[in-house]
């Protein structure tokens, strides 16, 4: 491990020995979680049951997708087909140390978001892996504990099958052929993070992750039973309560581009708390790096005043820009708008 890489501590290394948040984690007063203004009861995100997706009620479920995607961009799913045992084994897998600040590395353990670019640190450590195609990456994954690769490969494969089902439903909900979205993704890509949020002595001063939108196409989040995720909806932050045996799904920037703004990538964040650690495992499904992304032709109509809102770009270009801006702007996607002149 290079000396520069070891000079940055993980939050896990400091959480149990400090009784104050170190100053580099403290947010300015105007940018703090402000929990008293967060909606914690009442309206939450839609729940879609996939049980009937392949039966006679498909049209009804597709309508639920259309509604959830256009008015929330966030939903929960149950009867998702990922075996409970697979989920349990993934959740219990131990984190291992592969620290690297290099955002181009395909397997790395790191902290915060992008330690090279950001001004304030976040109360999060994460292991990030690429996991499709599995055989290209599995040899870089941590090899201890012994079961890690097997458990993670099984989980990644199962979640990928779920994502392909979701993409068909979402494609149909946009009025497109069901393989349309999937076909825009080149060879496809899948990344996973294992997020670890240690207990924090002053959770009101900092974030696990500040407000951001995911750069990828669609995110499938597995989380334990500790709250922390919040979604920005109708000008306020709404806490998403964990529901056992469901996944949280949110749309990312690539879905916004492909749907030409019919569906939006949604602002969300993670807060921490003083007494419980929290683990979340997002799967970031994305185009392959060489895929050229642009609004779907069928959704563009120059005469009827729905021109292409975004220019085309490779996902490699987008992904680099995303890590570079390090949440400095809330919306990376704005810088890929088609020129209006
Ligand atoms: C993310 C993310 C939310 C959470 O990793 O992009 O939004 O609850 N995580 O950990
Ligand atoms: Ni996110």
* Domain residue spans of the chain: 25-336
For tokens 């089902």, name the residue: 165
> Which residue has its alpha carbon closest to ligand 1 atom 10?
280
User: Which range among 59-68, 97-106, 134-143, 296-305 shows the weakest confidence by mean pLDDT?
Assistant: 97-106
Q: Which residue has the higher pLDDT, 326 or 241?
A: 241
Mean model confidence pLDDT for the chain: 91
What is the arithmetic mean of pLDDT over 126-141? Answer: 95
Q: Is 7:101 a contact under the CB 8 Å cutoff?
A: no
* Alpha helix positions (H), the chain: 3-6, 11-15, 58-71, 84-92, 134-137, 148-173, 180-183, 253-258, 315-325
What's the pLDDT score for residue 91?
87
Q: For residue 259, count CB atoms less than 10 angstroms from its CB and return exposed for 0-12, middle for 13-18, buried for 19 or more.
A: buried
Q: Are strands 247-251 and 74-78 parallel, antiparallel or unpaired?
A: antiparallel
Structure tokens at 177: 């052929």
Q: Helix or strand or coil: residue 264?
A: coil
Q: What angle (nearest 5°) sits at the alpha carbon of residue 284, between those of residues 184 and 183?
A: 15
Say which ligand is closest to the CA of 252: 2
H or E element that contains 223: strand 218-223
For tokens 């009620």, name the residue: 57
Question: pLDDT tens across 310-324, in order?
Answer: 999 999 999 999 888
User: How far does residue 251's CA lie from ligand 1's centre (Å)?
Assistant: 12
Q: In angstroms, rounded to a whole number, what is the distance separating the alpha carbons of residues 98 and 194? A: 12
Is it the case that residue 3 has pLDDT exceeding 80? no
What is the arithmetic mean of pLDDT over 207-216? Answer: 95
What is the arithmetic mean of pLDDT over 152-173? Answer: 98
What is the arithmetic mean of pLDDT over 228-237? Answer: 95
User: Which atom in ligand 1 lies closest to the alpha carbon of residue 228?
Assistant: 8
User: Which range among 88-97, 156-165, 194-203 shows the weakest confidence by mean pLDDT?
Assistant: 88-97
User: Which atom in ligand 1 lies closest to the alpha carbon of residue 214?
Assistant: 6
User: How far does residue 57's CA lie from ligand 2's centre (Å)?
Assistant: 31
Instruction: Identify which of 229, 231, 241 to mutate to test ligand 1's pocket (most ligand atoms within 8 A of the CB).
Output: 229
What's the pLDDT score for residue 106?
76
Q: Helix or strand or coil: residue 262?
A: coil
For domain 25-336, give its CATH number from 1.10.10.10, 2.60.120.330, 3.30.420.10, 2.60.40.2230: 2.60.120.330
Kindly indicate the confidence band of residue 101, based on its pLDDT and cuts at 50, 70 and 90: low
Angle between helix 84-92 and 148-173 (nearest 10): 130
What's the pLDDT score for residue 1?
38
Question: pLDDT tens across 280-319, in order?
Answer: 999 999 999 999 999 999 999 877 788 999 999 999 999 9
Q: Write the CA distances from 162 to 17, 59, 156, 285, integer angstroms.
A: 41, 18, 10, 11
């Amino acid at each position: 491990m290079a000396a520069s890489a070891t000079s940055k501590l993980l939050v896990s290394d400091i959480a149990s020995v400090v009784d104050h948040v170190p100053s580099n984690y403290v947010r300015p007063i105007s940018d703090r979680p402000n929990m008293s203004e967060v909606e914690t009861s009442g309206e939450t995100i839609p729940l879609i049951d996939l049980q009937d997706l392949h039966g006679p009620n498909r049209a009804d479920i597709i309508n639920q997708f259309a509604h959830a995607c256009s008015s929330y961009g966030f939903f929960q799913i149950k009867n998702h087909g990922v075996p409970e045992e697979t989920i349990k084994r993934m959740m219990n897998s131990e984190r291992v140390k592969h620290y690297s600040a290099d955002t181009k590395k395909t397997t790395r353990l790191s902290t915060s978001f992008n330690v090279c670019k950001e001004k304030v640190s976040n109360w999060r450590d994460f292991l990030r892996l690429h996991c499709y195609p599995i055989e290209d990456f599995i040899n870089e994954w941590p090899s201890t504990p012994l079961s890690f690769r097997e458990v993670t490969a099984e989980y990644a494969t199962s979640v990928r099958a779920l994502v392909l089902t979701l993409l068909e439903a979402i494609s149909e909900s946009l009025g497109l052929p069901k393989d349309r979205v999937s076909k825009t993704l080149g060879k496809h890509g899948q990344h996973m993070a294992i997020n670890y949020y240690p207990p924090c002595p002053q959770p009101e001063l900092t974030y696990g992750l500040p407000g951001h939108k995911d750069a990828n196409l669609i995110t499938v989040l597995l989380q334990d039973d500790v709250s922390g995720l919040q979604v920005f909806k109708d000008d306020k932050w709404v806490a998403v309560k964990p529901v056992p045996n469901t996944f949280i799904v949110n749309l990312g920037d690539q879905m916004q581009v492909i749907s030409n703004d019919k569906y939006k990538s949604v602002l969300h964040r993670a807060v921490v708390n003083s007494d419980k650690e929290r683990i979340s495992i997002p799967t970031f499904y994305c185009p392959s790096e060489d895929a050229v992304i642009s609004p779907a032709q069928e959704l563009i109509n120059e005469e009827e005043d729905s021109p292409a809102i975004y220019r085309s770009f490779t996902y490699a270009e987008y992904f680099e820009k995303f890590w570079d801006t390090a949440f400095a702007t809330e919306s990376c996607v704005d810088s890929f708008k088609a020129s209006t002149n």
